[in-house]
Amino acid sequence: MTTAPLLKVEHLTMRFGGLTAVNDLSFEARKGDITALIGPNGAGKTTVFNCITGFYKPTEGMITLTQDNGDSYLLERMPDFRISWKAKVARTFQNIRLFGGMTVLENLLIAQHNPLMIASGFTFLGVLGIGGYKAREQQAIDKAAFWLEKINLLDRADDPAADLPYGDQRRLEIARAMCTDPVLLCLDEPAAGLNPRESHDLNTLLLSIRKEMGTALLLIEHDMSVVMEISDHVVVLDYGTKIADGTPAQVKADPKVIAAYLGVDDEEVEKVEAEVGLQ
Partner 1 sequence: MATPVSAPAARQANMMAALKEAAFAALITFGLCIPIIAWGTRQNLDNVLVLDPRWDTVAWAVAIVFVGRFLMALRQQKKGEGRTIVRILPHGTFARLQGHSRLFSLVGLGFLITFPIIAITLAGWGGALKWIDNFGVQILIYVMLGWGLNIVVGLAGLLDLGYVAFYAVGAYSYALLAKNFGLSFWILLPMAGILAAFWGMLLGFPVLRLRGDYLAIVTLAFGEIIRLVLVNWVDFSGGYAGISGIPRPTFFGIPFTAADNGFAAVFGLEFSPLYRTIFLYYVILCLALLTAFVTLRLRRLPVGRAWEALREDEIACRSLGINTTNTKLTAFSLGAMFGGFAGSFFAARQGFISPESFVFMESAVILAIVVLGGMGSLWGCAIAATAMIGGTELLRELEWLKVIFGADFDPTKYRMLIFGFAMVVIMIWKPRGLISTREPTAFIKEKKAISADLVQEGHG
The amino acid at 279: Q
CA distance 131 to 137: 12
Shortest distance in whole angstroms from residue 277 CB to partner 1: 49
Instruction: Say if residues 189 and 92 touch (Cβ distance below 8 Å).
Output: no
Encoded one letter per residue, x for contact with partner 1 by CB under 8 A and - for no contact, window 89-128 reads -xx-x---xxxxxxx-xx--xxxxxx-xx--x--x--xx-
Nearer to partner 1, 154 or 243 (CB): 154
Instruction: Say if residues 271 and 74 touch (Cβ distance below 8 Å).
Output: no
- Rule CB under 8 A: choose which of 13, 23, 154, 224 binds partner 1: 154
> Taking CB under 8 A as the rule, does residue 159 contact partner 1?
yes
Closest CA to 171 of 87, 108, 89: 108
> Taking CB under 8 A as the rule, does residue 271 contact partner 1?
no
The amino acid at 22: V
Q: Dihedral of CA 165/215/72/21: which sign?
A: positive
Nearer to partner 1, 26 or 139 (CB): 139
Nearer to partner 1, 216 or 234 (CB): 216
- Rule CB under 8 A: choose which of 47, 169, 180, 215 binds partner 1: 180
Closest CA to 67 of 97, 40, 87, 46: 87
- Angle between helix 166-178 and helix 133-150 axes, rounded to 10 deg: 130
Nearer to partner 1, 165 or 277 (CB): 165
The amino acid at 266: D
CA distance 162 to 180: 21
Shortest distance in whole angstroms from residue 154 CB to partner 1: 8
Nearer to partner 1, 102 or 224 (CB): 102
Nearer to partner 1, 145 or 259 (CB): 145
Residues 220-239 that bind partner 1 (CB under 8 A): none
User: Cβ–Cβ contacts within 10 Å for residue 205, how many?
Assistant: 19
Instruction: Say if residues 164 and 77 touch (Cβ distance below 8 Å).
Output: no
CA distance 129 to 137: 13
> Taking CB under 8 A as the rule, does residue 146 contact partner 1?
no
Tell me the window of 40-48, 152-160, 218-226, 258-266 that interacts with partner 1 (CB under 8 A).
Answer: 152-160
Residues 73-92 that bind partner 1 (CB under 8 A): 80-82, 84-85, 90-91
- Report the interface residues with partner 1, using CB under 8 A: 53-55, 80-82, 84-85, 90-91, 93, 97-103, 105-106, 109-114, 116-117, 120, 123, 126-127, 129, 133, 137, 141, 145, 154, 157-160, 162-163, 176-177, 180
